[in-house]
Structure 1
């Protein structure tokens, strides 16, 4: 082949690649570090593939590529990290509901007041697709409406109560797990009642308080933004951080795409003292972490003693993410730090078990590397995740209130059993066995939404009025029909009965009268 021909071909390839690059806006107004940690991998991958990516968030990049642009909200709200005490109760759950409500309103106000955000909306650059976090606020959908671009929703957790109806996803408390509660897919009667009550509470609190306040905040800046719930129904796709191997099979419409696992990056070798501690662990390692939101030092003293006593009875070494220096134990047995390379630890072949709060990020990393989990849920989606951990075979649950020395020792002996570990490895194999990787899936459907922006992909169930969805009108017609038939039948029966009850004399008299006539 002549050099000139090769040059022409390479130039055409570059032009084709350039022509397919998209201008993408990501809107992430929530200041939760654990959430953005997941999204960051996806956003950087979009940029790596040549797309021009602009991101509104509280977490600007320090080493962003040239085609990754931050609209920073940093400093306007305190990042959510290490604030939640290890207490699981209805009071905690009510506190979560109030936090979601107030933070959703605050996030909207902070974002719309930002000068860079205002400038972006005013200048109206052409975006091919806008990616919006679906969590505690739909305010970002108002910005997407003003910029007139198709929207892709994205989550780092299971679905919130207010997302089912808008997407046409059936929610039945008899078999569908509830974001904030345990019970999994086989809840007891008490748990079904509990789910029904809290589902009603959370949905109405969001719709009538958070949503209305966000609508009013948008109205201060724009006078033409439609109802946010209508905009939410127009989302092209929802990239949901699920995978049925872990969360179980659900009834999702075609525009809800499972992409669980895309945030797990390639593990790196351990370094320094941590590497030495792990390498010298003759019987392996157990890793303990309660994530970036739950504060481990708030664990009651008797619970801490129970954990430390169990450590002494097991041959394994332990690594515990602990936020202060009060935890005292033999340094040959326990390694503590307020920051640890979690992926690198879970990926290490000597890591045999993971005691966790059942956060979605850590659980995803555990199933990715085939590490058994003892799930001790505290708040948020953790109870739902813990139930999925147990049902999938990835691990077992241990509630905070049940954390005693005997119960914990029994739990560790269960997950450290070679047969249990073998089962978890099989679960991990199934998790990885997909036609397309989770990051490729997330990117593909984002690009698909941009390429086919004129189409609506939502299921018809999302547009059906509630009374039709639960078939109230059909039931009313059937009840009316059966009532009419019953009345007619009763009337005929009454006439027949009355006729048969006449005595023979009356019958003969009536026949004679008929003949004379």
Structure 2
């Protein structure tokens, strides 16, 4: 899938034998969003293109033709959201949408106000293509006109109001459930009515609360623009979605909306660090990998939840890799190895890893299914994950997935 997406972009640039200057705009201070952007942009750099990326993250292993314009203030916005993730599952629709869109406005403002970004914008250098993440940051589509380049939009999850309206993609409410709803494609009459109402509420908030904030930021930072933000939004050339038809509910797409789910998966897993490799391979009964992703922190779990997990892991015959963000875990059992970071994709590729306990993130779920690992999952914290995981549950339960998937992966939806 990684190479397919790179091929799509290369075809878009029309001439595979030439190197192009490409700008990537991936400002969200969440590691999962960065991983999607990094996979695409590094792939293009490896093909010989000259790549510049606006991102909060800096490459640990720099590539000669890969440059980062680093934005660090956005971490404050994402940390504010992360601190409330456990509370968000109890939010109502209005509170959830308001907080969601306020986060987008703060993220956009922090990025465009950053001195490094402002200095970069003043260079007026030439780019052949702008690849821009579309996640509550519509004003940043202005980079395309600023550098007089066509725009490819990237969504870190499935089709939504952020992407559908850019290219006129249809979303029939009779069988396409809203991501917040938790419905399947087979909705009752009452659920269809609720789906219509929820979608209408979101569209009302989007165009009357969120969009005016983005339009104001666009006018403030792209003052020389010849077009309005509305015109620029309708001029996006291609949209790449971090989803895949085999893992979600069926839905229509226009020709310039392409699924690239799994772009981050390593088809040839890298060697694991020695301490992790030794821990996994010395486990006679296999290993369980437990991670709540890059946003949700295990250390933020309530004391009683943490105590229950420790007690459960202690009584298992398997060993456990636990993504834990502090150097110490009080009461840590001997069969548990903690770390604030694990090479997740490479761990899941190891044959002695028998189970993945996950928060239900899109990357985590995709990687597990690719490597054929059983999942125990929860959907407590994510906008797009409920729809994505609901699709997986529906596919598995109704036996619509390939035989290999059915035989190797089960999904237990935990509320």
Report the counterpart of residue 383 of structure 1 in structure 2: 386
Superposition deviation, residue 141 in structure 1: 1.4
Separation in structure 2 between the aligned mates of residue 83 and residue 53 of structure 1, nearest angstrom: 33
Superposition deviation, residue 306 in structure 1: 4.7
Separation in structure 2 between the aligned mates of residue 426 and residue 91 of structure 1, nearest angstrom: 32
Report the counterpart of residue 242 of structure 1 in structure 2: 243
Q: Is the contact between residue 142 and residue 218 of structure 2 (CA under 8 Å) also seen in structure 1?
A: yes
Report the counterpart of residue 393 of structure 1 in structure 2: 396
CA deviations on 1:380-431 (whole Å, 9 max, x unpaired) are: 2222222123123399xxxxxxxxxxxxxxxxxxxxxxxx99725489xxxx
Q: Is the contact between residue 211 and residue 228 of structure 1 (CA under 8 Å) also seen in structure 2?
A: no
Instruction: State how 1:119-158 maps to structure 2 within 5 Å.
Output: 119-158=119-158
Superposition deviation, residue 308 in structure 1: 4.6
CA deviations on 1:204-236 (whole Å, 9 max, x unpaired) are: 222222221222223234154533233222111
Instruction: State how 1:21-60 maps to structure 2 within 5 Å.
Output: 21-60=19-58
Give the SS at the match of 1:245.
Answer: helix
Change (3 A) 1:133 1:340: same
Change (3 A) 1:92 1:227: same
Report the counterpart of residue 64 of structure 1 in structure 2: 62
Report the counterpart of residue 372 of structure 2 in structure 1: 370
Separation in structure 2 between the aligned mates of residue 263 and residue 393 of structure 1, nearest angstrom: 23
Q: Is the contact between residue 287 and residue 354 of structure 1 (CA under 8 Å) also seen in structure 2?
A: yes
Give the SS at the match of 1:207.
Answer: helix
Instruction: State how 1:400-439 maps to structure 2 within 5 Å.
Output: 423-425=406-408
Question: TM-score, normalised on structure 1?
Answer: 0.67
Superposition deviation, residue 135 in structure 1: 0.9
Change (3 A) 1:276 1:367: same
Separation in structure 2 between the aligned mates of residue 423 and residue 355 of structure 1, nearest angstrom: 18
Q: Is the contact between residue 314 and residue 333 of structure 2 (CA under 8 Å) also seen in structure 1?
A: no
Report the counterpart of residue 98 of structure 1 in structure 2: 98
Separation in structure 2 between the aligned mates of residue 349 and residue 210 of structure 1, nearest angstrom: 46
Aligned match for 1:347, one of 346, 349, 353:
349
Separation in structure 2 between the aligned mates of residue 304 and residue 118 of structure 1, nearest angstrom: 44
Report the counterpart of residue 272 of structure 2 in structure 1: 270
The structure with the largest helix share of the pair is 1
Change (3 A) 1:193 1:86: farther
Separation in structure 2 between the aligned mates of residue 130 and residue 34 of structure 1, nearest angstrom: 20
Say if 2:333 is the partner of 1:330: yes
Separation in structure 1 between the aligned mates of residue 45 and residue 261 of structure 2, nearest angstrom: 20
Report the counterpart of residue 300 of structure 2 in structure 1: 298
Question: TM-score, normalised on structure 2?
Answer: 0.82
Superposition deviation, residue 312 in structure 1: 5.8
Change (3 A) 1:219 1:291: same
Structure 1 unpaired stretches of 5+: 1-16, 396-419, 428-517
Instruction: State how 1:216-231 maps to structure 2 within 5 Å.
Output: 216-221=216-221, 222=223, 224-231=225-232
Separation in structure 2 between the aligned mates of residue 426 and residue 360 of structure 1, nearest angstrom: 16
Separation in structure 2 between the aligned mates of residue 85 and residue 323 of structure 1, nearest angstrom: 16
Q: Is the contact between residue 101 and residue 210 of structure 2 (CA under 8 Å) also seen in structure 1?
A: yes
Report the counterpart of residue 180 of structure 1 in structure 2: 180
CA deviations on 1:356-393 (whole Å, 9 max, x unpaired) are: 11101111111121112122111222222221231233
Structure 2 unpaired stretches of 5+: 1-14, 411-415
Change (3 A) 1:282 1:289: same
Separation in structure 2 between the aligned mates of residue 230 and residue 217 of structure 1, nearest angstrom: 15
Runs of 4+ more than 6 Å apart? none
Change (3 A) 1:309 1:185: farther
CA deviations on 1:266-321 (whole Å, 9 max, x unpaired) are: 42333344333322322222221110111223334444455455546654333222
Superposition deviation, residue 249 in structure 1: 2.8
* Alignment size in residue pairs: 387
Change (3 A) 1:391 1:125: same
Give the SS at the match of 1:364.
Answer: helix
